[in-house]
Structure 1
Amino acid sequence: MTVAMVLGIDEERGPLLYKCDPAGHFYGHKATSAGMKEQEAINFLEKKMKENPAFTYDETVQTAISALQSVLQEDFKATEIEVGVVRADNPIFRSLETEEIEEHLTAISERD
């Protein structure tokens, strides 16, 4: 099934994430996934969000990478994945550099 995810930053409510299915139904999320192993990733994210619903920027990026590693049961090298971010304080989409991804991967491995 094909889905679209739309991210926006509202001046009053902050970041908003919606997932829209082909029938036009849309749902708001704090974190979500789409594609292969979607439900496993959503379960991982829901568990993490239940433990701590207010993430810092670094925790958010590291949780997303950890979700991907968990559902695919694979440890990544920084050159093997792409990470895109949008921040409320800088609402321009950008891809993280390999060095930034490496820092997050190191933090994840040290934490685990």
Structure 2
Amino acid sequence: MPSKQLQGRAIQPLRITPTIGCVMTGLIADAQAQVTRARSEAAEFRYKYGYEITPDALARRMANINQVYTQRAAMRPLGISMIVIGMDPEYGPQCFKLDPAGYFVGFHATAAGQKQQEAMNHLEKKWKKLNSGRGADDAVSAGKSLSRSEVIEMAIEAISTVHATDFKPGEVEVGVVSLGDDEDPKTRGQWRVMPEDEVERYLLAYAEKD
């Protein structure tokens, strides 16, 4: 889940629970308020039920809260778009996008913010080419065919292509949660933001592919 910093309009990938993180685009103050509320909802869920909230349950809850903001006279809709990713113990990796109106939907790959549609078109084309061109027929199997490194490089390629820019390590932030075999067992299944030296390795790998 890479993000490109935009002055006053973006916030870095953030952890909500040990296995769920998010990235948002829009007004920073609203994004910070949304993250605080999401963490509160996740903590309340764990206190009430005794286990961590799942990504789909958190996305549904935050979407319901967003919808309330659109119908109360003393409130205004939050000026943000939120992408939640996390690890579900039963279904594995999950990704959801929420909008200020309270609509949320799951994706295999998605984008938000400036040039959102161009990025999503790029990801869709890449996905269709997976599994020898059969990615559109079975999107789930196509996603499982990707290694952790390939997923990260695909995301970097999407953001670099639509912005027509070769980014430096300090200009791109990458949040990741996975069960890949090539990661540290201590962080496996945990949400984390990559340090710059790790981001640099993926940027170099993408550059060398060109």
* Maintained 8 Å contact 2:87/2:177: no
Structure 1 residue aligned with 2:108: 30
| Distance across 2 between alignment mates of 1:31 and 1:57 | 13
Of 50, 70, 92, which aligns to 2:128?
50
Structure 2 residue aligned with 1:81: 172
Q: Which runs of 5+ in 1 are unaligned?
A: none
| Distance across 1 between alignment mates of 2:173 and 2:205 | 17
RMSD across aligned C-alpha pairs, in angstroms?
1.5
Shift, 1:70, TM fit: 0.3
| Distance across 1 between alignment mates of 2:83 and 2:202 | 24
The number of residues matched between the two structures is: 112
Of 48, 73, 98, which aligns to 1:20?
98
More helix by share: 2
Worse-superposed segment, 73-82 or 39-48: 73-82
More strand by share: 1
Q: Which runs of 4+ in 1 moved over 4 A?
A: none
Please identify the structure whose Cα radius of gyration is greater: 2
Q: Residue type matched to 1:85 in 2?
A: V
Shift, 1:25, TM fit: 1.6
Q: Residue type matched to 1:12 in 2?
A: E
Residues 16-36 of structure 1: per-residue CA shift (max 9 Å, x gap): 111122222211100000001
With a CA cutoff of 8 Å and minimum separation of 6, indicate the structure with the bigger relative contact order: 2
Q: Which runs of 5+ in 2 are unaligned?
A: 1-78, 131-141, 181-187
70 and 26 in structure 1: CA distance in 2 versus 1, 3 angstrom threshold:
same
| Distance across 2 between alignment mates of 1:107 and 1:68 | 15
